[in-house]
């Protein structure tokens, strides 16, 4: 009887956590700005006025993630002075770099591109993990605890 009650508690907790993070039918919202045009875009704490519902874009259903891009121009190229820009936007292609960061470099500059899959997740100086990343270890610990109690 105790084992069954414990098992029900674990499943209810898992279901509750899942319901907190999954919102079917809702579009993602992201911060959208470019520090070249708006210096607040480079701030660590962003104003809510920079949040955009990605479904408001043309073909809004295609937007499934948020991006933060830090572009650095290392030296003068084609009349552009050395500078660093932060660009935050809605994104759609997560085929290679879903919920992660990657770097690209070229003549005179480089960029770090980070993508994330939750609302307004492109705000942080370095993007954090998805809530689902926390769910797996929590669920694993609960299951281990449950199975160790059953063996006694």
Quick one: which of 2, 4, 59, 5 has its CA closest to 27? Answer: 59
Q: For 25, phi and psi rounded to 5 degrees?
A: 85, -5
Residue-level pLDDT at 5: 64
Element (H, E) at 113: strand 109-116
Q: Quick one: CA torsion of 87, 39, 43, 97, rounded to 10 degrees?
A: 0
Residue-level pLDDT at 130: 45
62 CA to centre of own chain: 16
Residue-level pLDDT at 40: 96
What are the structural domains, with CATH classification, of the chain? 25-129 (2.10.60.10)
Q: How many CB atoms lie within 10 A of CB 125?
A: 11
Residue-level pLDDT at 96: 73
pTM above 0.85, yes or no: no
Q: Beta strand pairing status for 83-91 and 109-116? A: unpaired
How far apart are alpha carbons 129 and 118 in whole angstroms? 10
Tens digit of each residue's pLDDT, the chain (152 residues): 565 565 666 655 454 444 444 444 458 999 999 999 999 999 999 999 999 999 998 887 889 999 999 999 888 877 778 899 999 999 987 677 778 899 999 877 899 999 999 999 999 765 444 444 444 445 555 555 555 566 55
Q: Which residues of 43-56 are buried (b: 16+ CB within 10 A; e: fewer)?
A: eeebeeebbbbbee
Place of tokens 């500078």: 83
Residue-level pLDDT at 114: 94
Place of tokens 């009349």: 79
- Under 8 Å between Cβ of 101 and 112: yes
């Amino acid at each position: 009887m105790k084992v069954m009650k414990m098992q029900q508690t674990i499943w209810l907790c898992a279901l509750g956590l899942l319901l907190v993070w999954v919102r079917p039918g809702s579009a993602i919202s992201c911060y959208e700005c470019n520090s070249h045009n708006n210096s607040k875009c480079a701030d660590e704490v962003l104003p809510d006025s920079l949040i955009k519902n990605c479904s408001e874009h043309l073909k809004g259903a295609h937007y499934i993630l948020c991006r933060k891009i830090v572009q650095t121009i290392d030296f003068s190229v084609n009349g552009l002075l050395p500078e660093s820009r932060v660009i935050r936007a809605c994104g759609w292609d997560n085929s290679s770099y879903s919920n992660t960061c990657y770097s690209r470099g070229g003549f005179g500059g480089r960029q770090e591109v980070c993508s994330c899959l939750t609302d307004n997740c492109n705000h942080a100086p370095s993007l954090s993990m998805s809530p689902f990343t926390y769910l797996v270890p929590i669920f694993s610990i609960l299951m281990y605890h449950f199975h160790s109690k059953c063996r006694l």
